[in-house]
Each structure stands twice: as structure tokens, then as C-alpha cells.
Amino acid sequence: MTRPPTERVVEAAPAKINLALHVTGQRSDGYHLLDSLVAFADIADKVTVAAADRPSFAVTGPMADGVPVDASNLVLRAAEWFAPGVPVAITLDKHLPAAAGIGGGSSDAAATLRALARLTGRAVPAGVAVLGADVPVCMDPLAQRMEGVGEVLTRLAPLPPAHLVLVNPRVHTPTPAVFKALAQKHNSPLPPIPAFADAQALIGWLRGTRNDLQAPAIAGAPVIAAVLAALECAPLARMSGSGATCFALFDSAPPAAALAARLRRADPDWWVFDARLC
């Protein structure tokens, strides 16, 4: 479908939060099997895609430093996979820390695919997992159960209103290294996931779950333990994904905002954000 070159599409790329993450096995090819309750927060990167005579890519925003602008960036890989050789102008407005366990790159890629689909009128083809194991779950940024290597997705009932404090100590925890350091790779799956009546019910259920990658991530980056200690006043504190971002979960906004403000004063070098769970 031909579009005027001035047309542009904007898509949000929200932070992905692994509220619980159980590692249940490892395949013969080395890939780990997961069982995870995935939700999204209302802090997001923003991807803008516009028709253009020649391709271009720019990264802006408060977290732009260090983000690659070459073909290694998942945004460009997603654009080339969706429409090889089609020139588009893409701007990534970066608000999420990179390599932080909250799916920033995968969510950016998924947002790029959604934006290109809207711009061109074409459906996103099957097989987005070729771009990364977390891209499929980020295509539909709502509460989901993610199993297998990320390809088995089950849409869940909407989660109750809840509030988060997200903290990243600005260290990278390379995902392959964290998985390699995991001593026990065959663990129990998640218990049945109910429809939660309220945030307190969600928090109570989450206390019976875990993030199996938390301990090996702390072994490689001990500062994660300091972050979790700073969040221990919350009803629930846990690391997301392979780290190093941790979250504190609350049933209302005021204590989350108060904790975030306190942490910003105490540790100005940490990335701290209070958000709403989507």
C-alpha cells in the first residue's frame, strides 16, 4: 500500500516485567525452558516510523547513550525483517535502560513491527521469534503466561491495578552468563494462575513463586542484593528477568511514589522509576 511520505506512526514500547520466572529445564540445543508471569509497566520507549526516500535511524531520549545505531540494534533488524529494502525513517526515543531484564530491546523491536504494520497496511508475518525469544510476548503487551523458550503464550485475565518501583543500579548482567551460572536448571513450574481479585491477592500469589535467575545474577553483580535490600519495605521485591532491574510491588500509588523519591535521594546514580502495572 502506497503511503504519502509525510505519514508517520508512533508506537509505545513498554517495559516488560517478569513478575515470576521459573526455569523448568534445558533443551538439548542449550536453550532453557521457562515458565513466567509477564506483565508490562506504563513506562515505555517510543518508536516513530515514517515513510522516507532513504532509510535513517536516530536514537534520542534520556537513556540514548550507548545504544547502538548500527545493524546490531533490534529496531533495525526488525525493520529489515519486516520490509527488506523499503526505506523508512525510524526514531527510537529511549527511556528504558538497555540490557536490564525488562525487555527494552525486544519491546522496541515489537513496537517497530507494529508501527510498520500500521504504516504499510500489512500484517506482521509469523515467525517474529527469529528476532529474539522475548519479541513474541512483547508483540501483545498485556499480562501473559510465557512458557517453553518464549514461544508458548497464554493471554491472562487483566491484572488488578498495582504499582511498581523499578530500580536499576546501572550494571549489565549478560543473559547468557546468568543462565550459565544457574546451578539447578530443572525446577518446578508456576502454580495455577488465578484471576486475581485485587493487588493484595496478586502479591500473595507471587510470594509463592520466585525468579530462578535472581541468585546467579546476584553472584555476578552483588549490587543487585543491595537494590533488593533497599526495596525490602515493599510487600514484594524481586528481580525481573535476568536483571539487573528489580521491582517493588505495591497495591497503591502513594507508597510507591514515596519509596521512589527516597531512593532517588539516597542513590542518585541508580535509575529509579515509579510506574503502574498494565
Look up the CATH architecture of domain 8-276: 2-Layer Sandwich (3.30)
16, 35, 94, 274: which is the annotated catalytic residue? 16
C-alpha cell at 65: 547513550
- Confirm whether 46 is a catalytic residue: no
Query: In Å, how far from its chain's centre is CA 254?
Result: 24
Do 36 and 150 contact (CB within 8 A), yes or no?
no
CA distance 34 to 153: 11
* 186-187-192-196 Cα dihedral, nearest 10 degrees: -130
> Phi, psi at residue 95, to the nearest 5°?
-120, -15
Residue 147: name the closest of 105, 111, 108, 190 by CA: 190
Do 35 and 22 contact (CB within 8 A), yes or no?
yes
Per-residue pLDDT of the chain (278 residues), as tens digits, is 444 444 899 999 999 999 999 999 999 999 999 999 999 999 999 999 999 999 999 999 999 999 999 999 999 999 999 999 999 999 999 999 988 999 999 999 999 999 999 999 999 999 999 999 999 999 999 999 999 999 999 999 999 999 999 999 999 999 999 999 999 999 999 999 999 999 999 999 999 999 999 999 999 999 999 999 999 999 999 999 999 999 999 999 999 999 999 999 999 999 999 999 98
- Confirm whether 134 is a catalytic residue: yes
35, 108, 134, 212: which is the annotated catalytic residue? 134
C-alpha cell at 223: 549490587
- Give the CA distances from residue 57 to residues 10, 48, 54, 68, 112, in Å, rounded to whole numbers and listed in that order: 14, 10, 10, 10, 12
φ/ψ bin of 37: left (φ > 0), alpha (ψ from -120 to 50), beta (otherwise)? beta
